[in-house]
Amino acid sequence: MIKTLLAEKQISAYKLAKDTGIPYSTISDLVTGKILIENTSSNTLFRLASYFDMSMDSLYKGDISQDKLYLSNRGREVIIRYKKQTIKYKGPKNLVRFVNINEINNGVLSVQTIFLNEDREEYSEEDYIDLMDLSDEFSMGLDSNKMPEIVIRYDNTITKENIIDKAIMVCDYMAICPANNSAEDMELKIYNLNRLHKQMLLRLVDYSVLSTNMSDNMQERALSVVISNRELIDEILKERNYA
């Protein structure tokens, strides 16, 4: 089961252990079958399910029968992987990354996407990808009536480097970056560096959370880190002329 998921995600057992915090020996035993997935701890099962974007129930039962189509990008190059096929094409010049799948309607994928404006600032906008047109062009064999599960794949190395480069503070597996800051209303964007698509937007003035897809536990940790480092964050923001 885990061996299949590793091959599908094209990562090593070592990387899985590093990304999830699960001991390498445990991952190795799961890959070789020395330990069965149903005999692992609930904590290990949760970490694996979260990492592979599966429910704990599906992972426990070994249910990975649904086809997956992976969407990713390197700069403006859009990459789509389905089964053993890979499609690459040029996207918009200002494309940064895909964030969230909104819906699929008649083979047209609606995806929340991050772009750069003329001032090199990030903004979010809905974008559309006609998977059926791509399927016809590259003979992917997609059926608009039975679409595979769409999964956004992140190039962790490149994205993590970009986020860390912009961060005003990196701690507790989180990168704290400025976002839409002014003297009246400073905001921070906080990224979970282990799960780059998990993030929250925090209003620094009163610590209100504007939006988040982090777990409750991660959100509490993020708030705690910001509150305990508030003075330092304020100071760095002022040095960077964000306030």
Q: Which amino acid is at 58?
A: S
**Cβ proximity of 159 and 204 under 8 Å:** no
Tens of pLDDT along the chain (243 residues) come to 788 888 777 788 888 999 889 999 999 989 888 888 888 888 888 888 888 777 777 787 776 655 678 898 888 899 998 876 888 999 998 998 898 888 899 889 999 999 999 888 889 999 999 999 888 877 777 888 878 888 887 766 567 777 887 888 998 789 999 887 665 668 899 998 888 778 899 988 888 898 888 888 889 999 999 999 998 988 888 777 644
Distance CA 144, CA 75 (A): 28
**Cβ proximity of 132 and 104 under 8 Å:** no
Please spell the DSSP secondary structure of 177-238, one letter per residue. EEES--SS--EEEEEETTSTT-EEEEETTTTEEEEE-S-HHHHHHHHHHHHHTHHHHHHHHH
